[in-house]
């Protein structure tokens, strides 16, 4: 019994020990779980308390020019925060001094935000040019984070200089290369054109431009990264036309006998005129006059007019100098006596010369030979031979010859002596024959003409002013007649009256000083010549007249271009001029 009880006690003792051990493990596990929770809660709270917000910042653009030109006047300050924070956005200068506060926000949720900065200090005054720091600071419960970005303020326009256009206003070449300089990094372009001009690392650039005739406006613009711009304007005039050049004297292929040649003309748009590379004095109105020394023989003149851009107009003239008189050789000896009234005169002179025998023009062959018939009067006869070459040189020879007519019985005396022996049939013939001879004389008598003028000097007026020279033409009998005006070269320059039949007697004709084309004749000496023509004779009469200048009339109605005379016309005019001159002297 006692053993049984002991066994039971031992069993109770073992079961009590197992229960005590089970209670201790449970308590430990529970305590450990609670501890872990407390640690987790503490760490979470501590993590949140000690966390730092993430911040990122940027600016666009990073260079601004706040000068109110509507180009890059402001920048967008962009910042992002990772969580709700107390945020401040501020601007600092290069020394770290606060310039302005852009934002100061409590409990700003996480996200991206944009703030505009216009370059002002405290919203009032403009900051000076330089580099500034835009900074965003996000503050958590116990710690903060800051990030910044640089922004450059530049309000100074870039320099711009066109190096080769300072003194360039007029050019002759349409291809223009413009050279210039600015600051590196600047954008250069032409107004109205989209293409950008490259600028090298030293700020140099070139622009190729094709100009059009006349005025060209060149506007070049330089713009820096901050949006500041500088522009310059230059006007260039393209002139491709050569200057006008008109040569009044001499005309081409002229023959002269004076070594001193007076060259005159007008070059209204020229800056300089040269004659065979010799400079000529050019007047303000564009006229010029120059004395040039000719060499015997052929002289080539090269007249050049150059304008201010280098365009050149060139005229060439060939001028011949012949200063020696022409030679004359005659078949007629001094003092020769002839039994007949008609004598054949032959001779030789220089080729191209004009021969006058007793003031009558005689044809000269291409070899310089000439011949004519002399009608001698009874007794002594003076024969004058004048040779004038194309250059105007004159040689004169005179010969006195005699015509000794056989002594003839007076026809009337002989007729009266023989009258008694005439038959009765011859008597009517003696009456009829003189009547026929008298009638024939009146029908075939030569015509004579006389021309007179009411003045020897005349200033033409405007056509509506009715200013005239009055001419008196006197014909001895009916004849075809014409009146024309001849210049100093013997050239007909105006027709006063066309050739038509006029009755014998006086006729009045008026002339206003204009040519056949309605242009007033230039001032100078002229000859008004009347010509009367009948079947058996042609006669002329001439009067000199001086045309004086009327500035108003000649400026408006004169012809502007000098007449070019061919060589053949020149020979003909020279002959006519000699005839006119001889008739003046003879009159």
Percent of the chain with pLDDT over 90: 56
pLDDT band at 444 (very low <50, low <70, confident <90, very high): low
Let me know whether 372 and 485 are in one domain.
no
Strands 354-357 and 379-388: antiparallel
Domain-located, residue 412: no
Distance CA 125, CA 91 (A): 14
Look at residue 202 in the predicted model and tell me its pLDDT: 94
Domain that holds residue 28: 1-47
**Residue position matching structure tokens 């008609």:** 342
Distance CA 221, CA 258 (A): 64
- Looking at 238, 273, 303, the residue that finishes a domain is 238
Let me know whether 570 and 517 are in one domain.
yes
Q: Where are the beta strands (DSSP E) in 267-378?
A: 272-275, 278-280, 287-293, 297-306, 312-321, 328-330, 337-338, 342-349, 354-357, 360-362, 369-375
Domain-located, residue 313: yes
Above 90 in pLDDT, residue 124? no
Look at residue 408 in the predicted model and tell me its pLDDT: 40
Domain-located, residue 181: yes
- CA gyration radius for the chain? 60
pLDDT band at 21 (very low <50, low <70, confident <90, very high): low
Count of H helices and E strands in the chain? Answer: 5, 42
Contacts 24+ apart (CB under 8 A), 229-232: 229/69, 229/71, 229/157, 229/158, 230/157, 230/158, 230/159, 230/160, 230/182, 231/160, 231/191, 232/160, 232/161, 232/162
Let me know whether 525 and 503 are in one domain.
yes
Q: Where are the beta strands (DSSP E) in 200-323?
A: 204-210, 214-223, 229-238, 246-249, 254-256, 260-266, 272-275, 278-280, 287-293, 297-306, 312-321
Domain-located, residue 414: no
CB 486 within 8 A of CB 524: no
Higher per-residue pLDDT: 11 or 123: 123
Phi and psi of 147, rounded to 5°? -135, 150
Look at residue 427 in the predicted model and tell me its pLDDT: 56
Q: What is the CATH number of the domain that holds 566?
A: 2.60.40.4070
Let me know whether 215 and 194 are in one domain.
yes
Where is 526: in which H helix or E strand? strand 524-534
**Two tokens at 486?**
């001849």
pLDDT band at 477 (very low <50, low <70, confident <90, very high): confident
**pLDDT tens readout for residues 202-231:** 999 999 999 999 999 999 999 999 989 999
Q: What is the dihedral of CA 266, 272, 274, 279, to 10 degrees?
A: 120
Q: What is the CATH number of the domain that holds 366?
A: 2.60.40.10
Mean pLDDT of the chain: 83
For the ranges 140-149, 321-330, 410-419, which has the lowest average pLDDT?
410-419
Let me know whether 467 and 576 are in one domain.
yes
Let me know whether 489 and 575 are in one domain.
yes
**pLDDT tens readout for residues 351-382:** 989 999 999 999 999 899 999 999 999 999 99
Structurally, how many domains does the chain consist of?
7
Let me know whether 476 and 511 are in one domain.
yes
Residues linked to residue 266 through DSSP beta bridges, in sequence order: 246, 287
Domain-located, residue 567: yes
pLDDT band at 141 (very low <50, low <70, confident <90, very high): confident
Let me know whether 339 and 384 are in one domain.
yes
CA atoms within 13 A on the CB side of 146: 9
Q: What is the DSSP string of 123-148?
A: TTEEPPSEEEEEEEEEE-SS-EEEEE
Domain-located, residue 484: yes
Percent of the chain with pLDDT over 70: 82
- Looking at 47, 63, 84, the residue that finishes a domain is 47
Q: pTM of the predicted model, to two decimals?
A: 0.48
pLDDT band at 426 (very low <50, low <70, confident <90, very high): low
Distance CA 465, CA 482 (A): 25
**Two tokens at 570?**
């020149």
Domain-located, residue 411: no
Let me know whether 332 and 310 are in one domain.
no
Distance CA 582, CA 572 (A): 16
Domain-located, residue 410: no
- Looking at 305, 321, 337, the residue that finishes a domain is 321
pLDDT band at 339 (very low <50, low <70, confident <90, very high): confident
Let me know whether 227 and 178 are in one domain.
yes
Higher per-residue pLDDT: 498 or 108: 108
**Two tokens at 575?**
């002959």
* Burial tier of 417 (Cβ tally within 10 Å: 0-12, 13-18, 19+): exposed
Let me know whether 477 and 440 are in one domain.
no
Higher per-residue pLDDT: 20 or 456: 456
Above 90 in pLDDT, residue 437? no
Let me know whether 476 and 518 are in one domain.
yes
């Amino acid at each position: 019994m006692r053993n049984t009880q002991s066994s039971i006690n031992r069993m109770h003792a073992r079961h009590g020990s197992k229960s005590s051990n089970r209670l201790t493990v449970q308590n430990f596990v529970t305590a450990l779980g609670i501890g872990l929770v407390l640690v987790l809660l503490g760490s979470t709270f501590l993590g949140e308390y000690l966390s730092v917000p993430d911040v990122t910042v940027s600016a666009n653009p990073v260079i601004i020019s706040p000068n109110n030109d509507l180009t890059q006047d402001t920048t967008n300050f962009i910042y992002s925060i990772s969580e709700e924070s107390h945020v401040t956005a501020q601007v600092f200068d290069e020394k770290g001094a606060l310039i302005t506060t852009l934002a100061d926000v409590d409990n700003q949720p996480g996200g991206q935000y944009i703030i505009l900065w216009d370059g002002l200090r405290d919203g009032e005054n403009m900051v000076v040019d330089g580099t500034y720091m835009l900074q965003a600071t996000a503050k958590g419960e116990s710690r903060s984070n800051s990030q910044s970005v640089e922004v450059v303020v530049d309000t100074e326009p870039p320099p711009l200089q066109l190096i080769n256009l300072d003194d360039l206003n007029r050019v002759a070449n349409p291809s223009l290369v413009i050279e210039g300089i600015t600051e590196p990094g600047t954008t250069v372009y032409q107004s109205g054109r989209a293409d950008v001009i490259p600028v090298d690392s030293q700020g140099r650039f070139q622009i190729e431009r094709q100009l059009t005739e006349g005025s060209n406006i060149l506007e070049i613009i330089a713009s820096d990264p901050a949006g500041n711009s500088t522009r310059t304007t230059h006007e260039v005039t393209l002139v491709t036309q050569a200057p006008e050049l008109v040569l009044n004297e001499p005309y081409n292929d002229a023959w002269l006998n004076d070594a001193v040649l007076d060259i005159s003309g007008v070059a209204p748009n020229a800056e300089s005129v040269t004659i065979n590379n010799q400079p000529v004095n050019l007047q303000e109105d564009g006229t010029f006059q120059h004395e040039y020394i000719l060499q015997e023989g052929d002289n080539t003149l090269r007249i050049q007019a150059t304008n201010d851009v280098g365009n050149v107009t060139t005229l060439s003239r060939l001028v011949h100098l012949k200063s020696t008189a022409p030679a004359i050789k005659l078949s007629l000896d001094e003092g020769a006596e002839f039994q007949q009234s008609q004598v054949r005169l032959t001779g030789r002179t220089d080729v191209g010369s004009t021969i006058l025998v007793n003031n009558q023009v005689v044809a000269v062959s291409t070899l310089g030979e000439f011949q004519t018939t002399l009608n001698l009067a009874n007794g002594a006869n003076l024969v004058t031979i004048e040779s004038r070459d194309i250059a105007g040189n004159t040689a004169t020879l005179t010969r006195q010859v005699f015509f000794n007519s056989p002594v003839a019985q007076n026809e009337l005396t002989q007729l009266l002596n023989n009258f008694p022996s005439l038959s009765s049939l011859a008597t009517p013939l003696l009456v009829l024959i003189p009547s026929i001879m008298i009638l024939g004389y009146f029908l075939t008598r030569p015509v004579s003409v006389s021309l007179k003028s009411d003045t020897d000097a005349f200033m033409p007026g405007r056509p509506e002013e009715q200013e005239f020279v009055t001419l008196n033409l006197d014909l001895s009998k009916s004849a075809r007649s014409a009146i024309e005006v001849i210049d100093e070269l013997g050239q007909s320059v105006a027709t006063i009256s066309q050739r038509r039949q006029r009755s014998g007697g006086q006729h009045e004709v008026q002339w206003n000083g204009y040519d056949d084309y309605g242009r007033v004749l230039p001032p100078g000496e002229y000859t008004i010549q009347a010509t009367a023509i009948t079947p058996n004779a042609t006669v002329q009469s001439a009067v000199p007249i001086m045309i004086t200048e009327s500035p108003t009339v000649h400026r408006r109605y004169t012809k502007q271009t000098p007449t070019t005379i061919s060589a053949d016309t020149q020979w003909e005019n020279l002959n006519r001029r000699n005839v006119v001159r001889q008739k003046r002297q003879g009159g």
